[in-house]
Structure 1
Amino acid sequence: MSFDGLFTRAIAAELNQQLAKGRIGKISQPYPNEVILTIRAHRHNFPLLLSAHPSYARIQITQIPFKNPIVPTNFTMSLRKYLEGAKLLNIEQLANDRVLFLNFATRNELGDELPLQLSIEIMGRYSNIILIDQTTQKIIDTIKHIGPGQNRYRTLLPGANYIQPPQQAKINPFNDNDKQYQYLVADYPNREVLAQKLQQVYQGFAKEHALYFADQLHRTDQAMADNWQATLKQVNHPAPSIVKNEDQRQVFFTFLAFPTKNVLHQTATLSEILDLYYQQKANHDRVQQLAGQLISLIRNQLHKNQKKVKKLQQTLVASKHADQYRIKGELLTTYLNQVRRGMTSIELKNYYDNQKMLHITLSPNLTPSKNAQKYFKKYQKLKKAVIFVNEQLAKAQEEIAYLEEIQSEIELAEPEDLPEIKLELQQQGYLKNQKKAKKNKPRQSTSQPTVFYSSDKTKISVGKNNFQNDRLTLKTASKNDIWLHAKNVPGSHVIIHKSDPTQQTLLEAANLAAYFSKSRQSATVPVDYVMVKRIRKPNGARPGFVIYEGQKTLFVTPEPELIKKLAIKPNN
């Protein structure tokens, strides 16, 4: 994990510079494990994200927009009660651990000074955010409640005494008076082994950072102590970047100045590099978490329909022999005088197959005529079954295509898109309708398509779910706008809000249509485009389904970097 003790110290230094002496304005909790404190400092509002997510725990200033829930959580209400209007004095780190204390000055209802502390512990699945009364060292509230049954050493519940996380028996590298690293270099000249020993001896070293320190200690251009101190001082002069490791398989974020050849992205601040690194990862995880029920439902329905298709196809294979029953019935009728009651079988010349002899099984208890009728009935039954099976097969395949489209929508969705996807599944009968909301409950706002801008500043809209697609194509778009969609696969409706776009704009919009489709990982994606006036929705069609004619096709390769550029609103 790149968010080690060293990175924690670097981000604390950056946040102290930007936020110290600022005041808290708004407080919100957009997701179960994440809090946003809007801090007014230096005449700017800074959204400070505190995350106790088990995989993406961190602290940073974020520019990613979040949507507040309609009903605030109990923890949000506690923070608002105690911290709204509070002054942030400073941010302190616990030794070189992944624990930061945000110290606040505020007053209680009686006007007395009330020193408060907000602790953020960045410790994987044990991550937490804790509001503490510094006067009594009592916990006011926590974002995750941990009872004595879960942790005997450390109870994290309102009213409990606050106990700091247990300290590891390791050296704080910033207080290493004995210079232990010199002995380690002497005993372990191998770079990888030295990095492992640095992690074992010193507090707060991730693997990537330990390897970097090992490289610096092996440098011979200046004294080892100078290299050590110069590397530690980078926490106050960071080089925020996303770096690929030596085997090119993984990337990580860092504050250290890695070689340029390994650097993928650089930003001005550590918060910006965290936004860049976590935006897609964290967003995808949030969607997977919030849409867990929908994902499970879609997966089960797909499995059910795929099994149904397999059985229907097997029935179709069996029904291909229907004509054999008809032929046997006709042969028995033709040669009825050769058939005797009580016979169990007979061989007759098949005039449909060059007079070859055909073996026909008979029921000895039936008359020759009824044996022939028996074969005709089997033929008619299978013939009718073929029609029914084909109808059911078409319905099952149509349902699979629809479910795969919903599955693709969830994969591409933002958290705010999920309520409409859920509503659609309710309307289509896959989910039970919820009870009617109370009259005084705020109405859920309608999600909007995502807006992009082409190189020549032409506006392009992208629907992210079927309701958005229908509204965008059938209501919002002008008749002469250009509509695009990845060919023959689930995907977003894309609208170029212009009747005569340039070829460059067409290609960029086609790239959007390819990227926001099931084929986003493909090397070449065919994308149809046509004027909106040629789009038609059949009566009774499912949401998002349309038909069109007169289209042309472009072939593009989805480019994530291009998508990021198109998302930036141009200056007028």
Structure 2
Amino acid sequence: MHRNYFTLYHAAGELRSRLVGGYLFEVYSQKKNELTIAFITNDRNHLQLVVTTANPRLGLCVREGLNRKKRNSAGLMPEIYEQEVLDFRMDTADRIIHVILESGYKLELRLFTGRTNVVLLNDEKKISSFKEHIATPPSQFRPDVLKTLEKLACNEEVFCRELRANGSDTTIKRLQALLPGFDRFLVRTLLQRAGNPDDHPTLHIEFRKLFFELIEPHPTLIIDDKEEPFLSILETPEKKGKSFETVLEALSFYCSRTWQFLGATGDIGDLKQALLEAQKKAQSMIRGASSEELESAIEHSTTMGHLLMSNIGNQSRKPTSIQVTNLFDSESETVTIQLKPELSIHQNAERYFTKAAKTRGKIAAMQHRKTEGQRIAACCELLLEKAATLKTPSDLRNFNETYTRELREAGIKSRKSKNGKSFPFRTVALPSGATLFLGKNAANNDLLTFSFAKPHDIWLHARGSSGSHGILRGSCMQNRTDIQRAAEIVAFHSAARHSTMVPVMYTEKKYVRKSGSRLPGQVRLDREEVILVTPSCI
């Protein structure tokens, strides 16, 4: 439901309370199909609104603080920089958020599934847009979503009459035409709750309940180890999930979890492709190990050597060839043997025997290659069969741990960093592109903090509890969203993981020093900040 009208409606309301009276700071893009709109809120804090296009699984999320990179970042729409935000509201008829700025400027966040775009207007005339090729259907002739649904929810007679009057073939199509803002998920949920789609009074009762649930949201991130994350604002007591106080917080966590899921999906695809290539190489090794021609060459060279030895008394002067009787083939009277004139008959015979011996060595190497190819092919076939069931990041981690030896035998290298070095730490990729490294034990914590970390990396640790050191790379101290995500994960990898709230210390690594004791993992901080978080592995 991350792109549903009601989810966006509540997100816009929460943003309105923070942004009206503040300023639009800048607009930029530093990832393909991702636009960041940076605001200064009315309480003078930095907040980033991130819009993702061309990906139905993602849409809108927020990040606290600043996170613009110095390189590979393009500023857009400079005419609205430092403009005051006069209003921030949801469109009454469609999934469009209007950001009203001073001097007649307006940003439209058009959050449609396949045609998401951000458009800048001045006096209702288009000036520029993030995606130039995307057109938007007009919404001025569409019904007001909330007023229409409220009217139907409060009047059973009108609801049943309008439902019967609709000429669509199926109940699903009639409900989609009757209920603006209801997508397929909401229509299916309504029909599931009602039970009988032809019982219109019961259908109205369930619609009324569902409508008021949508007006009073219960944002929940539904987490299933076997499926991708799903965001819902409905009451979902029967499903395992993580509840949030605000829709914006739920959207941010949903995007974080979805990025992890998509990253794992890409890694799974890369793994399968590597296995297919290894299998293809192994099959090529098997096909190329045919030794029939070489065995024939061995027999020929050995025969020529024996025939020359039987004619060793023939001492012709530097002959280039010699004709001898073929003692091994009664049907052939004579055979011509090519010689090197500078060598004697005996030496030429030795040359043929040596050639046969080398060919036997080639055959042995080919047989070894064939055996190796068969082993690798069988290993790849097993791994491909197991990899076909992989869906989630945990599936991939378990697969790599379970089949480490088989992957090594198949020639599949472990995932490495950009400079080609594999990390001996746990790694977590954050949605912003930053990476969190976690120590595995006290000695590994020392290695992470004092050998691997750089001076401006962010160091994190649960305060007053033993646990993993965390190193956040690719972010900055002003990016509160990244720090909070990293702190939640660090708290989860500490002895306080079962606590409701955990204080986590963070500072730049240059302020971290070894303590007076020589115990591994113990440090002293010259400067620190503390954030209270709920431990989370997502």
Q: Normalization by structure 1: what TM-score? A: 0.53
CA distance 1:565–1:67, change in 2 (3 Å): farther
C-alpha separation between the residues in 2 aligned to 1:94 and 1:210? 20
In the alignment, which residue of structure 2 is the partner of 1:24? 24
Deviation at 1:7, TM superposition (A): 2.2
* Partner residue of 1:565 out of 492, 503, 506: 492
Asked if 1 retains the 8 angstrom alpha-carbon contact of 2:307 and 2:326, the reply is: no
The one-character-per-residue Cα deviations of 1:442-498 (angstroms, maximum 9, x if unpaired) are xxxxx99633367xx969669xxxxxxxx9699438xxxxxxxxxxxxxxxxxxx9x
Aligned residue identity for 2:220: S
C-alpha separation between the residues in 1 aligned to 2:333 and 2:98? 91
Q: Secondary structure at the match of 1:204?
A: coil
In the alignment, which residue of structure 2 is the partner of 1:145? 132
Q: Which runs of 5+ in 1 are unaligned?
A: 106-113, 155-162, 348-359, 410-419, 426-446, 463-470, 478-496, 513-560
C-alpha separation between the residues in 2 aligned to 1:205 and 1:261? 22
Matched, 1:241 2:168: no
C-alpha separation between the residues in 2 aligned to 1:89 and 1:167? 19
Q: Secondary structure at the match of 2:114?
A: helix
Matches within 5 A, 1:156-235: 165=138, 172=145, 174-176=147-149, 177=151, 181-183=159-161, 194-214=171-191, 228-235=207-214
Deviation at 1:101, TM superposition (A): 1.2
* Partner residue of 1:476 out of 449, 452, 457: 452
User: Paired residues, what number?
Assistant: 398
Matched, 1:117 2:106: yes
Matched, 1:104 2:101: yes
In the alignment, which residue of structure 2 is the partner of 1:374? 352
C-alpha separation between the residues in 2 aligned to 1:344 and 1:84? 102
Aligned residue identity for 2:10: A
Which stretch shows the higher mean deviation, 372-381 or 118-127? 372-381
Deviation at 1:130, TM superposition (A): 0.5
C-alpha separation between the residues in 1 aligned to 2:25 and 2:449? 40
Asked if 2 retains the 8 angstrom alpha-carbon contact of 1:315 and 1:389, the reply is: no
C-alpha separation between the residues in 2 aligned to 1:182 and 1:278? 39
The one-character-per-residue Cα deviations of 1:317-359 (angstroms, maximum 9, x if unpaired) are 6399779938983996499559993538449xxxxxxxxxxxx
C-alpha separation between the residues in 2 aligned to 1:132 and 1:403? 55
Deviation at 1:132, TM superposition (A): 0.9
CA distance 1:459–1:69, change in 2 (3 Å): farther
Deviation at 1:379, TM superposition (A): 2.6
RMSD between superposed Cα atoms in Å: 5.8
Deviation at 1:257, TM superposition (A): 1.5
* Partner residue of 1:264 out of 211, 217, 241: 241
In the alignment, which residue of structure 1 is the partner of 2:119? 130
C-alpha separation between the residues in 2 aligned to 1:344 and 1:184? 105
Matched, 1:405 2:384: no
Asked if 1 retains the 8 angstrom alpha-carbon contact of 2:88 and 2:99, the reply is: yes
Asked if 1 retains the 8 angstrom alpha-carbon contact of 2:18 and 2:41, the reply is: no
Q: Secondary structure at the match of 2:181?
A: coil
Matches within 5 A, 1:430-469: 450-452=436-438
Deviation at 1:8, TM superposition (A): 2.2
Q: Secondary structure at the match of 1:365?
A: strand
The one-character-per-residue Cα deviations of 1:506-536 (angstroms, maximum 9, x if unpaired) are xx89xx9xxxxxxxxxxxxxxxxxxxxxxxx
C-alpha separation between the residues in 1 aligned to 2:13 and 2:206? 21
C-alpha separation between the residues in 2 aligned to 1:202 and 1:229? 12
Q: Secondary structure at the match of 1:282?
A: helix
Asked if 2 retains the 8 angstrom alpha-carbon contact of 1:54 and 1:126, the reply is: no
C-alpha separation between the residues in 2 aligned to 1:565 and 1:362? 88
CA distance 1:402–1:321, change in 2 (3 Å): closer
CA distance 1:168–1:193, change in 2 (3 Å): farther
Q: Which runs of 5+ in 2 are unaligned?
A: 313-322, 339-344, 377-407, 422-432, 454-460, 471-487, 506-538
CA distance 1:2–1:82, change in 2 (3 Å): closer
Q: Secondary structure at the match of 1:91?
A: strand
Deviation at 1:61, TM superposition (A): 2.2
In the alignment, which residue of structure 2 is the partner of 1:325? 298
Deviation at 1:116, TM superposition (A): 1.5
Asked if 1 retains the 8 angstrom alpha-carbon contact of 2:148 and 2:180, the reply is: no
CA distance 1:211–1:331, change in 2 (3 Å): same
CA distance 1:125–1:316, change in 2 (3 Å): same
CA distance 1:256–1:288, change in 2 (3 Å): closer
In the alignment, which residue of structure 1 is the partner of 2:341? none
The one-character-per-residue Cα deviations of 1:41-83 (angstroms, maximum 9, x if unpaired) are 335433222233432452332359855251542xx332x4313
Matched, 1:77 2:60: no
In the alignment, which residue of structure 1 is the partner of 2:60? 59
C-alpha separation between the residues in 2 aligned to 1:238 and 1:24? 28
Matched, 1:255 2:233: yes
Q: Alignment identity in percent?
A: 12
In the alignment, which residue of structure 2 is the partner of 1:158? none
Asked if 1 retains the 8 angstrom alpha-carbon contact of 2:25 and 2:83, the reply is: yes
C-alpha separation between the residues in 1 aligned to 2:264 and 2:66? 15
